[in-house]
Each structure stands twice: as C-alpha cells, then as structure tokens.
C-alpha cells in the first residue's frame, strides 16, 4: 500500500535504508532455512538409518548450529548499526 | 552441615543484595538520576528471564536425555529477536502508544476493549503459568537437597523445612515490595528490572563458569572435549524432525505470548531503540547460555553415578569434584533464574488478574469507581498484592499436589504449548484488520480446550485421566483419545497437542472472523493496531458530551494519586491555554487521560471508568452513527453550499445580463426620446413658422395663404399620424389591444392590402403565388391587413430595382401558414437586418418619409396574433416572412 504522493524513486541514502529494512525482514527467514538444514543430515541410531552413511557427529552439529547462531547475531548487529533511527520511526511503508 | 549453612547464608546475602540493588534503582529513578537504568543493556538483560531454572538446570538434563534437541528452546526466541522488524517492533509501538499493561490487555484492547477476552486470556495465563511457577519452586528445592545430600546432617535439616514454602513467601514479599510500589505502568518497575538484570549476569556467569571448569578443568581443552562428546551416548546426530521444527516454533510463539516475556519486552520497554540492541545482544546471550550445556551434560554422564538426576548436573558435577565455591555460584545462578522468572511472572499475572478480573468486579459492585466511597487507588494496589500472593500460593499448591516428580522440562513445554494458543489472536490482531473478537474468542477456547484435554490433564499430577480414557477415549469415543485425536496415533504427545490445538485454533479464529462482523470500536482499534506506524498518536476519541472535569479529576486521583493527577491536569489545562487545574473535557484530553489511566488499570477498565463519567457506556453504534451523520450532514451542507454558489453565479450572470439589457434599454429610451422629440419638433417647427407668417404678415396673396395653410394642415396630419402610430405601438406593447377575431380567406386579406397600398399608381408589379385562396384564417383580418400593407408599402418605398417587382408567396409548412414578401431590390444590408424591427429605425440614406415605426408595429401585431415577422435573408432582395399558426384555421372548422 503506497502512500499517495510518495515519490517513485528515492535518494540513494533512502534507497539504501529501504534495502536494509528488507534485509532485516529477511534475516529470520535465513535463520530458519539454515537451521532446517540439520534435518537433512544422516541420522544415527534409528532403524531407518542407512548402514553405509556415517551419522553426523554431535561435535560437528554443535559447530554448525552455533556457527549459524553467531552469524545471525553478527548480521543483526550490523543491521542495527546501519539502520537509521528515523527510517525506523517512519515504519514499514513499502517502496 | 557447614556447606548447607554457608549456602543458606550466601543465599540470604544474595537476596539482601538483590533487595539493595532494587532499592537503589528505585531511589535513583525517583531522583531522576536513573539514566543508566534506561540503557539498552539493562533491557537486553531483563529479557533473560526467558532463561528460567528450567533452562539453567533443565537444559543440561534435556541434553543428557535427547542430545541437541534442547537447543530448539533457544532457537525460537533467537529467530523472533533477529526478526524484530516484523513483529516485536510493532508490538512495542502498540504497547507504548496504547499503554498496554499485559498480554491480556493487548488482546482485549485490540478486540474492542473486550472484557470477556481479557478474562479468558487471564484465566488461560494463570492456568498455563502456575505449573511453571511451581516448577521454579521445585528446582530451588531440588538444588537445596542436592547440597543437602552431600552434607551428612543436611538431609535431616532440609526435611525439617519446607524449602518451597519459604522460597514462595520470600518471592512474594520481594515482588509485592518492588512490583506494586507504583501503579502507573509507565513508571516502570526500575527496581525489579535492575534486580533481574543483575540476576541475568549472575546466571550467565555461573553457567559459563561451570562450563569453563568442565571443558578446561575436567576435559582438558576444546579438542579433547569434542572427542568426549562424540564418544558419549549423545555423540551422534539424532533428531526427530517434527520435534525440531515444532519445538522451535513453540518456543518462538511462547517468547511472544508468555505474560512475563510480554512484561519485559513491551511493558517495561523504555525506548523503542533498545530493541535494536536487544536484536543481536539477546541472541548472543542465549547462545552463550547454551554453549556449555552439551559439555556439562556429557561430563555429567561420565562422572556421575548412573541413575543420578541429570537435571542437577550443573550443581552436582562441581560438587562431586570438590569445587564447593563453584557449586555455590552455580546454585546462585539457578536461584537467580528461578526467582527472576517468578517475580516477573507474578507481576505480569497480578496485573492481569487485578485489571481484568478484580477491578471490573469491584467497579460493578460499587456502581462505578469514581463515585464509590473507597479509594480506588488502594483497591488496585491491594488487588495486585493479593493477586501476587494468590499466584504464588497456587504455584506452591500445584507443587505440593503434583509431588514434584516429573522431569522439569516437560512442564515447561506444556506451559509453552498452552500460552502459544494466544499467538493466533495476537498476530492476527496486529497484522489482520479482519480479525474479530468472536473469532479470537472462539479460536482461544478451541485451542485451550484441546491443549487442556491432550496435554494438561494427561500430565497433571501423574495423570488425572484414567487409563481407560487414555486408551479408549471418553465414553468409548476412540477418536477423542488425548494422545491420538481423530485416530491418528504415534505422534509425540507434545507435538500432537501443539499441532492440533494451534491448527484448529487458527482455523476457527480465521473462519469465525470471516463470517462475523466486528463492532465499531473493534474496527477502530483494529485499524489502529494494524496501521500503528501510520498514526502512532491515539485517535480513539470521545465524541462530544460534557464531562465534569472535576469528576474526572476526583476519579483519576483515586487511581493515580493526587500529585501526578494534579500536575497532569494542570499541564493539560495549560495546553488548552487555561489557568488552573481544570481543562475542558475535549476528546483529545479525554483520550490522553484514558491512556494515563489504562497504564494503571488496563485499557478496558480505563475506558469504562471514563465512560461512566462521560455518560456513555462505550462508543456505541449510535455514537458512531452520529459521527457519521455529522459527516454526512457536513457533506450535504457543503454540496448545498456548492449548489447555492452555483445558483448565485447563475443569478449573477442573469443579473449582469439584465443589467446590460437595462443599460441597453436606457440607451434605447434616450434614443427614443430624442427621436420622438425630433419627429415631433420637425412638423411643429414648420407649423409654428407658417402660422406666425399667417398671423404677422400682412397683405398675403390668397395663393400663398392657401399654400401656407395647406402646409400647416399637412404637417398637422403628419403629426397626428405619428401620434397615432405611437399610440398604436404603446397599446400593442402593453397588450391592451382588442382583437376583432373572425374567419376569412387569406387571399381576401392580401387582395385588400394590395388595393389599399395603391400599387396601381406605382410602377411595381405584384405577383402572387401559393394556395392563398384555400386558406381560411381565424384571426384579426384588419390587423393582418395592416401588416401586409406596411410590408407592401415598404417594398414600394425602398425597392431600388429598375422594374420593381414584389412576390407574395403563400405556403403551408408544419402547421403554420407562411406568407413571404420578396422584392427584387438590393435588399437590406446584413448589419441592418437585425435593426429594421427597432422603433425609429430607418435605413439612413433614404429619406422616404415615415417615422420608422412601421415594422416595429407590424412585429408587435404579429406577436399579438400568435405569429412572427422576420427578415428572410438570401432571397435576392428584401424579403420578409410572416408566419401564422394554422391551428386557428383548424379550430375554426
């Protein structure tokens, strides 16, 4: 829903802010996707586990999951530093 | 013995420290030196109440049982925090602009300040949270007994005391002291927030300290630790995909809907910008909290004897290794986790209970808080304090009844699934304007019922439901079995209940919302909540009505306290440009007052209280209709104005035209007067001159005498004729003419006119054509003949052809009789064609005599006879067309 009278094209700075907002919106989706990846890993122990595929070791799982965690936190830190306070108050208008 | 005594001493000292910190923070805030209290770091740390004792102790136990699955409990909140731009930002803004006090207040405010929904949410929250509180009490008790076991005398000592009771009493005391100090939720609980921030640091530090000890002290570094993890019984990735996704979702939902999380996330939020810091700092906190969980669990499984409770590994591992100091720290961490959760949960629940259950009942009993004799302010505070006591008592009772046997994490997840039932109503409320109160209510009831049936009752105190019901369903209805709804078996009970309850909750919520129609207030609130960023000011207003400002002040004082209210009223009066304390009850002012009040007693109650004084129970349909009517009236009025202005423009144009005509008429009249005086003067001059000669000159010859006398006579006749013409014209114009209507042939009239005008004497030929002899006219034949004579005479006078010829052509056309008089002269020049019918107009260069009234008289006569006289251009000469209605002939027959 565009506001009437809002310009079609924005200044470079505002444009950058809009894209950062997009990034802020997409970040949790990225997190969901990355944390869904472990479901694809070969399972250990279960009867359905293929015998020739080695199950992923817990240590590797820890590294992956916590690695994603750190990545997300850093991305959120970056976004919160880059996002303008003013852009935040004018809210989620889509342009 | 020594250990336990030291532990109790440390514990008491720690509690004293917390009291001190809370006290200092309150004082600093009171003195306005509390800027550091409003830092985003305090906010982030206060969020850590998400990590309860369940997290602190339970996560390790969870990891020892099911590996990495425990991490889902943290992944959900991490995703919510990282995605703050979606939901949290909106919730915080709504909470701040609408002065939301609790999650029940949020939902009730969104759905038209519905009291029923608020009660429903409150009851659900109390039922969902009470087991959780008892879980905290249990964990503190368990950790005490863990210490006691290592102490030979401790067992007997601990048996003598009811640890859970003492903890509950202590927590109630702390919460009442710092959680109900002030009423307005806008003056946030600085003391409490500060204390839980300290506790957040303590528990993180404690867990990391234990983790560091385990990894570097016992395992010998990161590498060996990893090897030991892989070698342990949880060393292989083993995950139920459904639980992985489901638990992540549940924890994310609970993070948003848990009353205590809502309290710290939204209600205690000082500044929206704090959210940006928390967006990355809180996920980091969660990550650190879970970093050492698996190592502690693995080492615990190794070093502890088989059968020991893995939920206590955080405590028992350092204890068995002789690290009593570390164990003490770890105990404090767990203690902090439990207490901070209980304190905030109790505050949140007591706010909900007092605002949505106690206050409405009280208001109803006293017939309105404003006019009641008792002090509402005290009632509210008392209600909160009692609610806190009741909530903790319930938690304690649940702990006692359930016996405290079940694994810690299980109760936590049951509670999560229960509170997650609020999610559809909440998210639907802030993102979907079509969500209605009925939809939210129906969804909540359905979700809550399924959760109770499938999860709460089967787990309650080892199973309230009998074995038969569990296996065959109630009354033999097998599709209602608590763990196999609709006959689908084999799903994990938690997932089963969570999935069905949320699925049906959302379905019912959406369906009922789609078919029901919201009340006006709901629609108003819905628009405000969903589009909060478009208008963050609260436009919910009171339309008109004369409220007594004084009454409002009296009522507000009872709730908020005199000083605050007086300064608020004074500021409002100043804003309106008035001196003193009593502002006009403008909608603006009332909306702000309502918001102030809603901070203390909740949106619905504040609305009701202001409404009582305003004399309007709610914003009713009638009010809205009145507003709409006003708008419609104004629109109608403006369209009327527009029509009027158009009319005025039209009238002005007409007036201008009339004015032009009048000016023209005046000019014409002047011209007429000068003409007539000129016309009269010319004969009069010669009459005077010749009569003077006759009188004065002597000896005139008879021939001259006769000549002069005949000149005078001729001039007199001319004068008479002129005056006759003028009289004729004036009679015709005034409509006083008497018409002598009779039947006759048109050919007779024409013949008479030709004869009378004496064409024989002129050299002009007259040709006649057309069926004049067949046409019978019922009209004034003399007048008509007068017109014809005039036209023929004009042709005689003005036709400048060598052999003048006049054609009189008669025809019938469309019910009219047309008579054309066409000569073969040069005709009338175009610029004069419009003027020939004007009085005194004469074609200038020909002096043929006559006053120039003939054609004007003719046109008047034709008008009287119902016909027209016009000039017909383009006929090769001067051509006049006489047109008469033929109807009269028809009528005559």
Are B68 and A74 within 8 A, CB to CB? no
CB B539 within 8 A of CB B163: no
**Two tokens at B307?**
């059968």
Residue-level pLDDT at B511: 93
For residue A34, what are the CA distances in angstroms to A38, A68, B246, B292, B383?
8, 7, 16, 22, 47
**Residue in B241, B273, B283 closest to A73 by CB:** B283
Contact at CB, A45 and B238, closer than 8 angstroms: yes
* Residues of A whose CB is below 8 A from B227: 59
Distance of alpha carbon B171 from alpha carbon B53, whole angstroms:
15
Residue B82 at interface with chain A, using a CB cutoff of 8 Å = yes
Nearest-neighbour CA in chain B from A10: distance (Å): 19
C-alpha–C-alpha distance, residues B24 and B17, integer Å:
10
Each residue's pLDDT tens digit, B309-342 = 788 888 888 888 888 888 888 888 888 888 888 8
| SS3 call for B830 | helix
Q: Provide CB contacts within 8 A for A48, sequence distance 6+.
A: none
Chain B residues with CB inside 8 Å of A22's CB? none
Gap between the Cα atoms of B314 and B146, Å rounded: 11
Q: Which residues of A touch B83 (CB under 8 A)?
A: 24-25, 27-29, 31
- Return the closest-CA partner of residue B144 out of B52, B16, B21, B10: B10
pLDDT of residue B509: 92
Q: How far apart are CA B172 and CA B384, in angstroms?
A: 11
Residue of B nearest to A67 (CA): B287
In DSSP terms, B745 is beta-bridged to B776
Instruction: Decide: B762 and B796 in contact? Cβ < 8 Å.
Output: yes
Of chain B residues 281-310, which have a CB less than 8 A from chain A?
283-284, 286-287, 291, 294
The answer to whether the B638-732 and B737-892 domains have the same CATH topology is: no
- Between CA B389 and CA B387 the distance in angstroms is 5
DSSP state string for B388-419: HHHHHHHHHHHHHHHTT-S-HHHHHHHHHHHH
B44 touching chain A per CB within 8 A: no
| Contact across the interface for A55 and B82, Cβ inside 8 Å | no
* Cα B599 from Cα B96, distance rounded (Å): 10
Which residues of chain A lie closer than 8 angstroms to B78, CB-CB?
A: 31, 69, 72
Chain B contacts of A27, Cβ < 8 Å? 82-83
What's chain A's length in residues? 95
Could you tell me which chain A residue has the CA closest to the CA of B291?
A: A66
Q: State the best of B231, B238, B275, B537 to mutate against chain A, taking most chain A CBs within 10 Å.
A: B238
Do residue B283 and residue A42 have CB atoms under 8 angstroms apart?
A: no
Residue B660: which residues within 8 A CB-CB, separation 6 or more? none
Contact B81 A35 (CB under 8 A): no
With a CB cutoff of 8 Å and minimum separation 6, the contacts of B739 are B779, B780, B783, B864, B865
Sort out which chain B residues have CB atoms less than 8 A from A71's CB and list them: none
Question: B258-296 b/e with 16+ CB inside 10 Å = b?
Answer: bbbbbbbbbbbbbebebbbbbbbbbbbbbbbbbbbbbbb
With H, G, I as helix, E, B as strand and everything else as coil, classify residue B874: coil
DSSP-based three-state secondary structure for B270: coil
Q: Could you report the per-residue pLDDT of B781-791, keeping only the tens digit for each?
A: 888 888 888 88
Question: Any chain A CB within 8 A of the CB of B226?
Answer: yes
Encoding tokens for residue B321?
A: 């290794």
Cβ within 8 Å, pair B82-A43: no
* Chain A residues lying within 8 Å of B291, measured CB to CB: 66
The residue among B466, B470, B498, B467 whose CA lies nearest residue B482 is B470
Both structure tokens of B461: 């105190």
- What residue of B is the nearest CA neighbor of A66? B287
**Distance (Å, whole) CA B404 – CA B401:** 8
Put simply, the answer to whether B83 touches A28 (Cβ < 8 Å) is yes
- Neighbouring-strand partners of residue B823: B806
Residues facing residue B766 across a β-bridge: B806
Residue whose C-alpha is closest to residue B347's, from B182, B119, B556, B109: B182
Identify which of A32, A43, A77 has the shortest CB distance to residue B238: A43
Cα distances (Å, whole numbers) of residue B94 to B88, B253, B339: 10, 18, 29
The CA radius of gyration of chain B, in Å to the nearest whole number, is: 54
Report chain B residues whose CB lies below 8 A from the CB of A88: 89, 272-273, 276
Q: Residue B614: its pLDDT value, please?
A: 65
Instruction: Read off the pTM.
Output: 0.64
- Structure tokens that stand for B649 in this block: 């423009």
Count CB pairs under 8 A between chains A and B.
120
Best to test chain B binding among A17, A70, A76, A81 (most B CBs inside 10 Å)? A76
Where chain B has pLDDT below 50, the residues are: 1, 185, 369-373, 407, 537-547, 616-618, 620-624, 888-893
Fold category of B638-732 in CATH: Helix Hairpins (1.10.287)
Give Cα B438 distance to the centre of its chain.
Answer: 20
Burial class (CB in 10 A: 0-12, 13-18, 19+), B660: exposed
**Closest residue in chain B to residue A41, using alpha carbons only:** B237
Contact (CB<8Å) A92/B533 = yes
User: Which tokens sit at B717?
Assistant: 């006749």
Tell me whether residues A91 and B248 touch, CB distance under 8 A: no
For chain A, give the DSSP string: -PPTT--SS--HHHHHHHHHHHHHHHHHHHHHHHHHGGGGSPPSSSTTS-SSSPPPBHHHHHHHHHHHHHHHHHHHHHHHHHS-HHHHHH-----
B356 CB neighbour count, 10 Å cutoff: 29
- The predicted complex's ipTM stands at 0.83
- Chain B residues lying within 8 Å of A32, measured CB to CB: 79
B contacts of A21 (beta carbons < 8 Å): 85
Of B398, B451, B538, give the one whose Cα is nearest residue B97.
B538
CB B878 within 8 A of CB B799: yes
Is the Cβ pair A58, B241 closer than 8 Å? no
CB contact under 8 A, B79 and A31: yes
CATH class name, domain B737-892:
alpha beta
Cβ–Cβ below 8 Å for B294 and A58: yes
Length of chain B as a residue count: 893
Q: What is the pLDDT of residue B151?
A: 61
Residue range A39-90, pLDDT digits in tens: 887 776 555 545 556 677 888 888 899 999 999 999 989 988 887 655 444 4
State whether A61 and B237 contact (CB < 8 Å): yes
- Of A39, A72, A78, which to mutate for an interface test with B (greatest number of B Cβ within 10 Å)? A72
Considering only the beta carbons, identify the residue of B67, B82, B236 that sits closest to A31. B82
Give the closest-approach CA distance of A16 to chain B in angstroms. 16
Quick one: CA torsion of B394, B398, B399, B405, rounded to 10 degrees?
A: -160
Mutate to test the interface with B, among A80, A82, A87 (most CBs of B within 10 A): A80
> CA–CA separation, B855 vs B725, rounded Å?
11
What residues of A are in contact with residue B277 (Cβ under 8 Å)?
A: 80
Mutate to test the interface with B, among A1, A6, A28 (most CBs of B within 10 A): A28
Compare all CA atoms of chain A with the CA of B88 and give the residue at the minimum distance: A25
Closest chain B residue by Cα to residue A70: B284
Gap from A66 CA to chain B (nearest CA, Å): 7
Per DSSP, the three-state class of B481 is: strand
Within 10 angstroms of residue B240's Cβ, the number of other Cβ atoms is 16
Q: Strands of B765-769's sheet, edge to edge?
A: B765-769, B805-813, B816-823, B879-885, B868-871
How far is Cα B513 from Cα B153, in angstroms, rounded to an integer? 63
Cα separation of A82 and A13, whole Å?
Answer: 11
Say if B280 is an interface residue toward chain A (CB within 8 Å). yes
Chain B: nearest CA to A8, how far in angstroms?
Answer: 19
Q: Which chain A positions have a beta carbon within 8 Å of B284's beta carbon?
A: 73
Question: To the nearest whole number, what is the mean pLDDT of chain B?
Answer: 79
| Residue B737 CB neighbour total at 10 angstroms | 16
Looking only at the bridges linking them, the beta strands covering B879-885 and B816-823 are antiparallel
Cβ proximity of B719 and B688 under 8 Å? no
- Cβ–Cβ gap B272/A91 under 8 Å: no
CATH number of B2-409: 1.20.1730.10
b/e burial code for range B383-401 (CB count within 10 A of at least 16 → b): bbbebbbbbbbbbbebbee
List the domain boundaries for chain B. 2-409, 421-536, 538-619, 638-732, 737-892
**Least Cα separation, residue A13 to chain B (angstroms):** 19
Distance CA B46, CA B575 (A): 36
Q: Which of B135, B130, B124 is nearest to B451 (CA)?
A: B124
Cα-based angle B287, B292, B294 (whole degrees, multiple of 5): 110
pLDDT of residue B892: 39
Q: Which of B86, B226, B227 sits opposite A25 (nearest CB)?
A: B86
């Amino acid at each position: 829903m565009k506001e009437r009278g809002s310009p079609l094209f924005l200044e470079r700075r505002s444009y950058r802010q809009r894209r950062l907002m997009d990034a802020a919106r997409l970040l949790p989706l990225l997190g969901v996707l990355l944390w869904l990846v472990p479901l694809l890993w070969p399972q250990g122990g279960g009867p359905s586990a293929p015998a020739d595929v080695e199950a992923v070791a817990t240590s590797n799982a820890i590294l992956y999951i916590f690695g994603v965690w750190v990545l997300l936190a850093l991305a959120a830190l970056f976004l919160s530093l880059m996002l303008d306070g003013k852009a935040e108050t004018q809210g989620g208008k889509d342009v | 013995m020594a250990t336990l005594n030291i532990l109790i001493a440390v514990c008491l000292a720690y509690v004293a420290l917390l009291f001190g910190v809370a006290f200092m923070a309150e004082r600093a805030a009171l003195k306005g030196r509390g800027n550091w209290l409003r830092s985003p770091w305090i906010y982030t740390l206060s969020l850590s109440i998400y990590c309860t004792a369940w997290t602190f102790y339970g996560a390790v136990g969870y990891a020892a049982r099911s590996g990495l699955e425990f991490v889902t409990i943290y992944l959900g909140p991490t995703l919510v925090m990282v995605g703050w731009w979606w939901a949290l930002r909106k919730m915080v803004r709504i909470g701040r602009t609408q002065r939301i006090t609790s999650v029940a207040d949020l939902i009730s405010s969104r759905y038209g300040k519905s009291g029923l929904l608020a009660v429903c949410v409150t009851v659900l929250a109390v039922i969902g949270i009470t087991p959780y509180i008892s879980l905290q009490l249990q964990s503190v008790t368990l950790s005490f007994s863990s210490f006691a076991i290592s102490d030979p005398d401790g067992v007997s000592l601990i048996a003598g005391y009811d640890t859970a009771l003492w903890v509950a009493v202590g927590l109630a005391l702390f919460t009442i002291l710092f959680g109900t100090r002030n009423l307005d939720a806008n003056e946030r609980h600085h003391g409490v927030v500060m204390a839980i921030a300290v506790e957040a640091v303590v528990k993180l530090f404690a867990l990391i300290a234990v983790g560091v000890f385990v990894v570097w002290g016992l395992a010998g570094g990161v590498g060996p630790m990893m090897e030991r993890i892989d070698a342990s019984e949880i060393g292989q990735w083993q995950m139920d995909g459904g639980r992985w996704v489901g638990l992540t979702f549940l924890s994310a939902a609970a993070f948003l809907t848990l009353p205590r999380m809502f309290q710290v996330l939204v209600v205690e939020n000082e500044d929206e910008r704090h959210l940006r810091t928390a967006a990355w700092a809180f996920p980091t906190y969660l990550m650190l909290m879970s970093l050492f969980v698996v190592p502690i669990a693995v080492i615990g499984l190794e070093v502890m004897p088989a059968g020991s409770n893995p939920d206590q590994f955080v405590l028992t591992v350092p204890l068995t290794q002789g690290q009593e100091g570390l164990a003490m720290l770890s105990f404090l961490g767990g203690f902090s986790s439990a207490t901070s959760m209980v304190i905030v949960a109790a505050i949140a629940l007591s706010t909900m209970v007092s605002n949505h259950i106690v206050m409405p009942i009280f208001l109803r009993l006293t017939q309105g808080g404003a006019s009641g004799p008792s002090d509402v302010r005290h009632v509210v505070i008392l209600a909160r304090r009692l609610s806190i006591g009741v909530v903790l008592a319930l938690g304690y009772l649940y702990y006692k009844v359930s016996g405290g046997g079940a694994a810690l994490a299980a109760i936590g997840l049951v509670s999560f699934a229960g509170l997650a039932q609020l999610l559809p109503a909440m998210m639907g409320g802030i993102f979907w304007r079509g969500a209605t109160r009925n939809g939210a209510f129906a969804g909540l009831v359905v979700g809550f019922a399924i959760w109770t049936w499938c999860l709460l009752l089967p787990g309650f105190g080892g199973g309230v439901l009998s074995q038969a019901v569990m296996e065959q369903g109630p009354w033999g209805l097998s599709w209602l079995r608590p763990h196999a709804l609709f006959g689908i078996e084999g799903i994990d009970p938690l997932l089963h209940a969570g999935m069905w309850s949320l699925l049906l909750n959302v379905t019912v919520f959406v369906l009922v919302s789609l078919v029901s129609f919201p009340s006006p207030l709901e629609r108003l609130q819905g628009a405000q909540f969903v589009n909060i960023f478009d208008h963050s000011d609260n436009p919910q207003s009171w339309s008109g009505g004369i409220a007594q400002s004084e009454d409002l002040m009296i009522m507000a004082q009872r709730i908020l306290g005199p000083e605050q209210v007086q300064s608020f009223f004074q500021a409002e009066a100043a804003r309106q440009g008035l001196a003193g304390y009593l502002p006009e009850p403008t909608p603006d002012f009332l909306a702000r007052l309502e918001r102030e009040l809603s901070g203390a007693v909740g949106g619905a109650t504040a609305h009701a209280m202001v409404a009582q004084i305003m004399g309007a129970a709610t914003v009713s349909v009638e009010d809205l209709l009145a507003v709409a009517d006003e708008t419609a009236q104004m629109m109608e009025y403006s369209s009327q104005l527009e029509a009027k202005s158009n009319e005025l423009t039209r009238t002005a144009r007409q007036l201008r035209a009339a004015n032009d005509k009048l000016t023209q008429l005046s000019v014409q009249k002047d011209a007429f007067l000068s003409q007539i005086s000129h016309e009269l003067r010319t004969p009069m001059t010669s009459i005077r001159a010749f009569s003077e000669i006759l009188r004065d000159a002597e000896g005139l010859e008879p021939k001259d005498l006769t000549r002069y006398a005949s000149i005078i006579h001729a001039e007199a006749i001319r004068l008479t004729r002129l005056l006759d013409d003028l009289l004729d014209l004036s009679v015709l114009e005034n409509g006083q003419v008497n018409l002598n209507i009779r039947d006759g042939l048109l050919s007779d009239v024409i013949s008479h006119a030709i004869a009378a005008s004496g064409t024989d004497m002129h050299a002009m030929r007259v040709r006649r054509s057309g069926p004049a002899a067949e046409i019978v006219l019922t009209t004034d034949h003399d007048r008509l003949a007068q017109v014809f004579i005039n036209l023929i005479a004009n042709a005689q006078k003005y036709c400048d052809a060598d052999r003048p010829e006049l054609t009189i052509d008669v025809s019938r056309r469309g019910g009219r009789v047309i008579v054309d008089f066409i000569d073969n002269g040069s005709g009338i020049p175009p610029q004069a064609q419009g003027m020939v019918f004007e009085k005194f107009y004469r074609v200038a260069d020909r002096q043929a005599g006559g006053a120039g009234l003939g054609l004007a008289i003719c046109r008047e006569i034709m008008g009287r006879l119902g016909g027209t006289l016009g000039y017909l251009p383009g006929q090769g000469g001067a051509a006049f067309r006489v047109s008469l209605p033929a109807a009269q002939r028809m009528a005559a027959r």
